[in-house]
Chains A and B, each alone.
Chain A
Amino acid sequence: GAGVSQSPSNKVTEKGKDVELRCDPISGHTALYWYRQSLGQGLEFLIYFQGNSAPDKSGLPSDRFSAERTGGSVSTLTIQRTQQEDSAVYLCASSLAGTTGYGYEQYFGPGTRLTVT
């Protein structure tokens, strides 16, 4: 079946511009996650969605970062007024998630490489 897809695969933007990154999770996965991968910081959690709500936004680095999820499916991560330190690979993942269980494996998309010039 289809895996997690992300678009665009690469994005180059000028400092100060806004960018939107898109994630299409695996069908039927109610949980969706955004992570950021950079050389200096490794893999960092950004935000977690259960359905359309985000019970854990603890990893968003500043108020320039926001995310939404609609229809329990597609998610968009928006970065406003981009800075050079935002340059990284942004990874989306999805998983099954139950109200009584944890430990479901997450399936990752190929990522969006963001370069802020």
Chain B
Amino acid sequence: AQSVAQPEDQVNVAEGNPLTVKCTYSVSGNPYLFWYVQYPNRGLQFLLKYITGDNLVKGSYGFEAEFNKSQTSFHLKKPSALVSDSALYFCALSRTGDYKLSFGAGTTVTVRA
């Protein structure tokens, strides 16, 4: 069995401040980890992924994420948040032998001006 947890339903930050969205996972075998963002009434947009290699992954729109195997975490970060980053963020997981994604419950990010 595999699962993804996003422990925070909501994250609120001021524009210009660092943004962190937390994700932990549970899987047998090597994980493949993804972050997606969803704007209102839109589908999910791919931000970044970790497959193997460097633990720090850089993605779209200035986002990055750090894979931590010992803590089974894959937190999403952005050094300086923008109001336009306000959206719903999903962490997702798959593994070798399984193409489908298992998603966390999502974290709503609100960046105030």
Contacts and interface: CB of A to CB of B under 8 A. Distances in A.
B44 A91 contact: yes
Given A102-B94, A111-B43, A45 B102 contact: yes
Interface of A is mostly: strand
Nearest to B100: A45
A12 to B, nearest CB: 16
Interface in A61-82: none
B53 to A, nearest CB: 11
Contact of A59 (B41, B51, B99, B100): B100
Contact of A102 (B36, B90, B96, B104): B96
Interface of B is mostly: strand
A16 to B, nearest CB: 28
Contacts of A43: 90, 103, 106
Given A42-B106, A91-B44, A110-B43, A102 B98 contact: yes
A108 B45 contact: yes
Contact of A103 (B32, B36, B43, B102): B32
Contacts of A110: 41-43
B82 interface: no
Interface of B: 32, 34, 36, 41-46, 49, 51, 90, 94-106
30 contacts: A33-B101, A42-B105, A42-B106, A43-B90, A45-B101, A48-B99, A50-B99, A56-B99, A59-B100, A91-B43, A91-B44, A93-B44, A95-B99, A97-B99, A102-B32, A102-B94, A102-B96, A102-B97, A103-B32, A103-B51, A103-B94, A104-B99, A105-B34, A105-B46, A105-B49, A106-B101, A108-B45, A109-B43, A110-B43, A111-B43
